[in-house]
A and B are shown apart, each in its own frame.
Chain A
Amino acid sequence: MENKKNQRRDFLKKAGLGLATIASVSAFSSPLPTNEEKKRLAMIVDLQKCTGCGACTLVCKNENNVQDGVFWANKICKTEGKFPNVRYDYIPTLCNHCDKAPCVKVCPTQAMHKDENGITMHDTEKCVGCRYCMVACPYQVISYNGEKPHKRWRSEEKLMVGTASPKELNEKVGGDTIPYYNPERAETYPGIRPKNVVEKCTFCDHLVKKGEKPRCVQRCPSKARTFGDLDNPNDKVVSLLGKHSPFRLKENLGTEPKVFYIRNFNPGKYPR
């Protein structure tokens, strides 16, 4: 009797140990990020610091090899009134990486999707180019590649006699389609997106994965942009949001954008 009890105890012990081992091994090898790894990345733009210089637009184009006519980082500006009472409003825009992103909801192929950090990502392989996401996006931050990207850099036409054509120049510097091609971009998303698909800001996910901040945040000369994790109470974005009364674009639509604006000069005047 006693022997049987001991055997059962041994069995339970071993089974328990086995289960614990399996659980710990699977926890280490799990491809899904744990709660600690998961972030809710967001950006804050300080409108009193922003001078409207457009550096964010330029560095974004360079970083992401964005083609002519397409802007991942953009702006809304409007001039109101007559001289001498003129008012110029400027608000930088980019993909809001909404928590309830309408583009993700409407995309029939799941090409628009959310990554583990809440970044709205796009898969060019799945995209059919239906542009439903563009129609559904309330912020007009998704662009369509209607033609072969960087067409001008493929041209064999010389702009002036005696100079090199864009294509020759490109070949001379060994550029991949464009002489200033940034290969780092291709680590998480095609370096240059093909014809007939859409593209948009990815919060520089290739840099974020290495622990860096998006390029527009790094290069903003007036340090108007702050980037961080909304779920981390010690993050600067959380303290800034607590300190100021932020607003988001078109909050009434319930998309929960993750780009916040603080310290606006003229509340109510900015496009909501």
Chain B
Amino acid sequence: MKNIKSIIWYSCLIAILLLGIYGVIVQTIEGHAVTGISKQVPWGIYIAAFTFFIGISAGSTIISFIIHVFKVEHLKSIEFKTIAVGLISLVGAVLFLIADVGNPIRMMKVPIIMRNTSSVFFYSSISYYIFGGLLVYQLVNYVRAIKNPKNEKFRRNARILAIILFPLAMGIVLVPDGALFSFVKAREFWNRPLLLPHFANAALVSAVAVMVVIAYISEKIEKVELLNLSAKVLIGYMLIFLVAGVLFLDLFDILVLRYSEKPEGIEAWKALTNEHLVFFLVNILGLVFAGILLLIRKGREFPNLFYSAILIILAISAYRYNLIIIGQEIPLFKGQNVELYFPTLIEIYICAGVTSFMTLSYHILIGKLKIKSIIKNNI
């Protein structure tokens, strides 16, 4: 029975991955004309997905830092998964970036031979290399530490790396995700001082939510209890705190836009309450319901904790999408027409394909490297 379930699961993942590959082939032959981008909206769903996954990558690394440095015993069991999720999300984010740019080979060379030190993009591209390299090293150390519990060296290395990765992760969230947008003076919707903390907070909350989803699936499907009751309660409180932070910043945004007298603010509010209303509602209501669910005592246990995590992931994805797209749809000049962006089927195929690729990679990393049994033994 379990076998049939996993066959269906893997077949679905492979089918979606193939769809994504088909999308990539079509986009490579036809060019970006098959996407929904335009002169007014040059960045579409790929960039929105990029910000979401780079946020998860940084967020899960920060969780790993907290577990390591503050020695949070309750969460020790998810330590390895945070590193794995951090690495795979980073790879996924970079894949979205590759899908977005016209010449990915040249893009790879940006930090090496093409330097413009005044561009935020230059620094962020360097940080992906450094961050990715260190995450791989961290993963190797962690696996070695588990395999050789008597050898203190690997554990110490892992701890030092967790400390090094923390500021880098903050940088990765703040530099490309935040500064890439908030430094752009031309787009008033992005050029706001609170965008950076909003980004960082949203990244953290989505990373914790992803960890909850992984723990729940492990418990239900793999029959491995990654989080005991106290760990779930601890994570529940963490989520309440983070959700409240994001909601506060959302509320602040709403007030600023609702009562804005600037044309950009008025247009942004119009977009939020008309064309982007569904995403706006998913963002706000998703967080509100997740918060309410978490405040109930039973809400900090499975399955309610899992449901709130799903609501949070949906809410943050909607937030990222609205932020990236509305920021560009607002006309740059008064009187100019609003040009709406809709992702095309090809873009959706590619997004689904990359997500499926990430899920498969996670399975390979956990399963094929026999790490599952190592962790099981460790718990």
Asked if A134 is at the interface of the complex by the 8 Å CB criterion, the answer is yes
- Known contacts A106-B119, A129-B102, A195-B102; A135 and B184 CB within 8 A of each other: yes
- Taking CB atoms, residues of chain B closer than 8 Å to A126 are 106, 114
Q: Identify the closest chain A residue to B97 (Cβ).
A: A130
A73, chain B: closest CB distance, angstroms? 14
Q: Which of B19-43 contact A (CB under 8 A)?
A: 30-33, 35, 37, 39-40, 42-43
Residue picked from B30, B33, B119, B336, most chain A C-beta under 10 Å: B119
User: Contact: A109 with B332, CB < 8 Å?
Assistant: no
Asked if A241 is at the interface of the complex by the 8 Å CB criterion, the answer is no
User: Contact: A253 with B185, CB < 8 Å?
Assistant: yes
Asked if B69 is at the interface of the complex by the 8 Å CB criterion, the answer is no
Contact of B335 among A89, A110, A147, A148 (CB under 8 A): A89
Contact of A128 among B107, B185, B328 (CB under 8 A): B107
Asked if B110 is at the interface of the complex by the 8 Å CB criterion, the answer is yes
> Among B60-68, B120-128, B273-281, which stretch is in contact with chain A?
B120-128
Complex alpha-carbon distance, A253 and B183, angstroms: 12
B324, chain A: closest CB distance, angstroms? 10
Q: Which of A242-272 contact B (CB under 8 A)?
A: 249-250, 253-254, 271
Complex alpha-carbon distance, A147 and B33, angstroms: 6
Asked if A62 is at the interface of the complex by the 8 Å CB criterion, the answer is no
User: Contact: B185 with A108, CB < 8 Å?
Assistant: no
Interface size class of A (residues with CB under 8 A): 35 or more
Q: Identify the closest chain A residue to B336 (Cβ).
A: A76
User: Contact: B328 with A135, CB < 8 Å?
Assistant: yes
Asked if B333 is at the interface of the complex by the 8 Å CB criterion, the answer is yes
User: Contact: A146 with B186, CB < 8 Å?
Assistant: no
Complex alpha-carbon distance, A63 and B314, angstroms: 49
- Taking CB atoms, residues of chain A closer than 8 Å to B102 are 127-130, 144, 195-197
B62, chain A: closest CB distance, angstroms? 26
- Taking CB atoms, residues of chain A closer than 8 Å to B30 are 147
Q: Which label, helix, strand, loop or mixed, suits the secondary structure of the A interface?
A: loop
User: Contact: B39 with A143, CB < 8 Å?
Assistant: yes
Contact of A271 among B42, B106, B186, B336 (CB under 8 A): B336
Complex alpha-carbon distance, A142 and B332, angstroms: 13
- Known contacts A129-B102, A196-B102, A271-B336; A135 and B119 CB within 8 A of each other: no
User: Contact: B119 with A146, CB < 8 Å?
Assistant: no
- Known contacts A110-B115, A253-B186; A195 and B334 CB within 8 A of each other: no
Q: Identify the closest chain B residue to A130 (Cβ).
A: B101
User: Contact: B110 with A138, CB < 8 Å?
Assistant: no
Asked if B378 is at the interface of the complex by the 8 Å CB criterion, the answer is no
What is the 8 Å Cβ interface bit string for chain B, positions 87-126, against chain A (1 contact, 0 not)? Answer: 0000000000000111110110010001110111110010
- Known contacts A89-B335, A127-B103; A135 and B43 CB within 8 A of each other: yes
Q: Identify the closest chain B residue to A103 (Cβ).
A: B186
B331, chain A: closest CB distance, angstroms? 9
User: Contact: B110 with A128, CB < 8 Å?
Assistant: yes
Asked if A166 is at the interface of the complex by the 8 Å CB criterion, the answer is no
A172, chain B: closest CB distance, angstroms? 27
- Taking CB atoms, residues of chain B closer than 8 Å to A145 are 31
Complex alpha-carbon distance, A139 and B110, angstroms: 26
Asked if B74 is at the interface of the complex by the 8 Å CB criterion, the answer is no
Q: Identify the closest chain B residue to A252 (Cβ).
A: B185
B183, chain A: closest CB distance, angstroms? 8
B32, chain A: closest CB distance, angstroms? 4
- Nearest 6 interchain pairs by C-beta: A129-B102, A196-B102, A78-B335, A138-B186, A271-B333, A147-B33
Can you spell out 16 A-B residue pairs with CB atoms less than 8 angstroms apart? Answer: A102-B185, A108-B121, A108-B122, A110-B115, A127-B106, A128-B110, A130-B102, A132-B121, A142-B39, A144-B102, A146-B32, A146-B35, A147-B32, A197-B102, A197-B103, A271-B333
User: Beyond A109-B114, A135-B328: 6 further Cβ-contacts under 8 Å?
Assistant: A89-B335, A106-B119, A108-B122, A134-B39, A140-B40, A146-B33
